[in-house]
Structure 1
Amino acid sequence: METSGLLKAIAVAASLALAACGGGGGSPKFNTGGDSGGTGSTGGTGGTGGTVTVQVLKLGNGTGSGFTSGALATTKSVLQSGSSATISLNVVDENNAAVSEAYSVSVNSNCVGTGLAKISKNGGDVSQVTTSNGLATFSYTPQGCVGTDTINATLVTETQSLSAEVTITVEQDQVLAVEFVSISKNQLSLRGIGGQETAEVVFKLVGAQSAPIIGEDVTFSLSTTEGGISLAPGTSTGVTDSEGKVTTVVQSGTTATTLKVYAVHDASQIQGSSSDIVISTGVAVDNRFSISYDTQPANAYNTDGIAVSINVIAADQFGNSPPDGTQVRFVSPEAGKVDDACSLIDGRCSVQWLSASPRPADMRVGLLAYMRGAESFTDVNGNAVYDGADTFTEDRAEPYVDANENGMYDLGEFYVDTNQDGDRDLGNNKWDGPCMQGVNAAAICDGESSIFIARQLRIVMSRNDACVVAITGFPAPKPAGGSIDLTVAADAAASGVITLDDCNGNPWPKGTTFKWEVNEADTNILALYGLKAGTISNANLDNGGHDFALQLAGNASPSYTSSKQGTLKLTVSFPNSTNLEFEWRIIYPVEP
């Protein structure tokens, strides 16, 4: 007897049993035919002789006479790793007709289970597919799987458990490239000074479809072994893992240098190369620590929230960057708000200072940046360590903010108390920096292993105003309602220097523009020489104002018979859109 016939027999027997029990009101979990039974509470009158039917499903591929039970269909039976095949399945009824009801079918394979292949649909990995009019498709892609892999599909209903499968052969892929993947640290410290001395370097073997190739032998080497640079024991060779990756470990040496790691696939001799690894001290030194700003003077005399970007760059004695993540700290004890720290990336980072109260009377704010580092020294014998042959030029005291700009520390000024002893300590007459005896036994290590190196700059909060503070060669400008004459004779010249500031002893704010011009009753009588126009950018903050050297030259052959008048005018336009003007009346006397 066929399976379908057996199920039908069971259904009929179940129907007769229900009828014998007098119905029961509710229907079972089968599709039923005929009327329902009696009420059941009084024994019932029995049903009308209906039968219970169960839909029989089959899982395979195709429909009708072309249906094959238990087998999935594939567009390719042989694949290379990284290429794909489309797998299809069909759910049909007992007559091999496609069923309209949607069913969820689980799909898997041995290689999918171990991560060496994937099953996907519409661009995403899946473990189930849903039929539409009895059909479902999905993609199978090996990713390191080699040999045969059987793809299984399983459909479980309340009455059936069905399965189908197909086997695909995955050919061994050809290694086409050894790709550099990553490095844990691209800068290592010299061996023996206590910094980061090892780095993991990862490569990947890939084939024609960029799929990983597993189980292959790889040999590593270094571009240089200067100073004892080496591969860690047991990492000079490796075997690619389930992702096609293989790892080695580099150990630094005692010489500052740059190197690469090479990885060679043993069977094909195809080679890959890492990015550069820098071996250096990694300790910032005092004379290679710098600070700058992007906008000065700031238009912040009476405005809060004006931003100034503060930038720092740090390097070790070889000019290499300290390790990424090294902290630089900032303080602005006189005025404003500054970010407390930034982390170096490739030797540089930035913070932002914002104008805010209180404001010092001179509107000049000292800002300090400091970090752990070493004092600079002159490497006389070129052995890269501080020893008896060398000298250091700056014996650094604890950093401070020179609030009054007199070039020395005064009691009450902010300082960084490195050792927390409550006093500002001077230098110790010793070179302070990392002990380098692990690099060279001749190194001297009697100073501190590190100190705070620092830089300070001056932020000026300028105002939108202009005052003449000094004049040589010219008279003062014309006051309101007054008249100050500047006489320029024919074939002669009047020269002078005029200095202006923001009326508070500081330069004008960045973005301020100025323009000098001569207005004449007649043309070609007078010529003006000097810087006639411009825009204030990053002014010299040590200069309290702006010096303008001007020359007014008269026409050598005047054609006028009576005295003429004109005006020398300066127009200053500030970032807040206000303008100020200064004027001198020019007299051109008639030549006798």
Structure 2
Amino acid sequence: MQHIPTRTVRTSTAAFQRTAALTLIAAAVLSACGGGGGDPGAVPAASGSGGTGGTGGTVTTPVATDTKVSLVMVDGSGNTVTSLSGGQAGTLKATVLTPAGKPAAGAIVQFATTTQGLVSFTPETGSALTDANGVAVVTIKPASYTVSGAAAVSATSVVEGKTGSASVNMAIGAAPLTVGTLAFVEPPKASLPAFSTLALNIPVSSAGKPATESTGLALSSLCVGDGTATLVPSGMSNGVQVATYTNNGCTRGRDLITASIGNSSQTIALDVSAANIGAVQFSGASLTGTSIVLKGSGGQGRSESAQLTFRVVDQQGKGLAGVDVDFSTTTSIGGLAVSPARATTDASGNVSTMVSSGTIPTPVRVLASASRNGATITGLSDTLIVSTGLPIQRAMSMSAEHYNVEGGNVDGTRVKITVRMADQYGNPVSDGTAVNFVTEGGAVGTPAQGGCVTDGDGCTVELVTQNFRPADGRVTVLAYAQGIENFVDLNGDGQYSCTNYVDASGKVPAVYRPLVDTCVSGGEPFPVPGDDMGDPFLDTQGDGVYNALAGDRPFPYGHASYTAAGDGKWGLNYLRSSIEVVFSGSYARITELCRNGACANTVYTAGATIPVPGAAGASCAPQQLAVRLTDDNNNPLPFGTTVSVVSANKLSVAGVSPAVLTSTRSSGGTVHQFTVTPDASCAPGDFSLQTKTPTGKITEFKFTAN
């Protein structure tokens, strides 16, 4: 009779019972077969035992050979449940037994559902390990508060290569979210000021219990719809969603806020304040760089006037229409004027005026003042959209690319002159700040602007060598710009303060406005008396003292005659800085010769023959030489001039230092050292010391040793 194999045991109780019954039947059949043999797994009887067929063997009962899994879902109290709704969560518990019927510890159980988007697991992978009792646990909940339907959830585990699984069916019910009564965290005592924020609590529940999320929450308000407020949700805790309300200058007076989820909604009212004038911004000019030329000098693309545009904005940066703006200039020197003196902003808050040049070169700014609700705001013209601090005297500096240029005998050598400025806070001044230059010799500036306007922290022009050339070859360059005088900030508020002041009409305004109102007395002091600045002047002597007979000239011509003293009041003035650049000659002289530390002030010109005692003949020895090189005005040779030894004969010369002239304006030229080493036989010899300027001008001096 054929062997009947044992069937795989199913995981359910009924399947297990059916498998056991089949196993017993198979065993009975095998027993009845007799001579077919005994238990397939039994050891055959020994020869001569007397057993025949299968009658002498021992019959055994097959055992279950599959992993067994059982699955239930329980609530927080441990009660078995078959449904979930809204934010409710359940616990899936799978019990796993080995094929031998013992608890399977450390086995992986994978939980899954065939209905996607209906439920979610924690952990998200839906997998867990069994404990010592063979139990694995995961959390299950509806995927959202609004989903509904039915789902089959399964648990599968593989133990000792055998797979077992079980499943349960469950119902998922929708439990929509509901919005509760709205409340502010700290209700304002009055209207919420413009650009202030407020926290709003929004209770959210599901089936009467605090929700854990606010899916579908919509927030709106009248002012948000106008674009003058924002309402942004943030964190959620204990069923309360928090949102931040910001008043960006709503003009309604009262806003109505609405929070809704689906058909559930709540509203709350909030008083809000509108914005006042926030700033008067300079928008730009009709000309690139806002550069205009002197009156009567227009033409060929140059203009004697420029249109300046300002924008009046509220505290949120939006343009204000219908605001009257008054214009004035920081100087009227030479007939400079602004027209119209008053204009009204358009629908975007823009307003314009024209500035026309006078007959004297000067930087100028236009002051625009606007008033609303008893407050006056001012702005100064600039090439930036938003004005920044004015330059202050103590932060103005001036430098040259190098200070000794080949210009005593050469036209067209160019050297860059840079001016840098900062405001009282140490920040770079805004782009477009105008700087004027005048020079004692050569030409300075650009054909387009004469001076320059700042870009970044400063601006640069070129000084070009040409006539006029001062007799001493030393050229003073003066830069001046309009800014504020130094002051001591006693109260530390970052601006000039005054206790006794009046406005242009003689009335006392509520608050002192620097540069707008007149400080009668009680103003903050100057650091030193000289900070109350008089007129700037071109200091041709470099001694800091004005001397018209010596060629000093005041700039700009703000008074009938030069005024050294200030006016005793802090305010706008002409900031100034000057440097001296040497127009160096191209040909060298030696004005001092040193040998082994002993120096003589002997002048040698080009082609001179200079003896070097001790470098030849009896007892010859190395000689340490130094020469002082100057041009014809006793100034240093040009920057970049090389000093070298050529045509050495029977003598070796090394270590010419410095070999290249650096930037210097020191009177008396530069000193260069080198060592002369005799021939091994102390034979007579010679060499030439050569200077060569950047334009190729050469001077040579012959040194001889006899």
TM-score range, shorter chain: 0.3 to 0.5
How high is the TM-score relative to the length of structure 2? 0.38
Q: Over alpha carbons, which structure has the higher Rg?
A: 2
Bigger relative CO (Cα 8 Å, ≥ 6 apart):
1
How high is the TM-score relative to the length of structure 1? 0.44
